[in-house]
Amino acid sequence: MKDNLQKMRKKIDKIDRELIKNLGKRFAVTDMIGKYKRENGVSMRDKDREETMLQQRREWAEDEQINCELVESIFQNILEKTVHKNERRQEGRD
């Protein structure tokens, strides 16, 4: 029984590692977007895009039968951290 639990935990660890790798890839792309916006005088915030993105993530969560509020909360947090980081860079503080 305990051996089976260990195997399942290793699967969770592997999945979490992949999630973190994918977050790293996502942040690399958002860094490029932030650089583009800084160089082209584009606002770091696009409320329409943010709402569209969050709605799409809620729909994807629903399709996967995952708690929509949880997924929205996760992506809202990612979004806020990304925008904050890019705003700091725009102000020359990062």
Instruction: Give the residue carrying structure tokens 């969770």.
Output: 12
> Global pTM?
0.83
The whole-number pLDDT of residue 62 equals 98
> What are the tens digits of pLDDT across the range 35-70?
999 899 999 899 999 999 999 999 999 999 999 999
Which pLDDT belongs to residue 67? Answer: 98
Domain count, the chain: 1
pLDDT at 1: 74
- Domain with residue 64: its CATH number is 1.20.59.10
What pLDDT is stored for residue 18 in this prediction? Answer: 98
Domain coverage including residue 39: 2-90
| Average model confidence (pLDDT) across the chain | 93
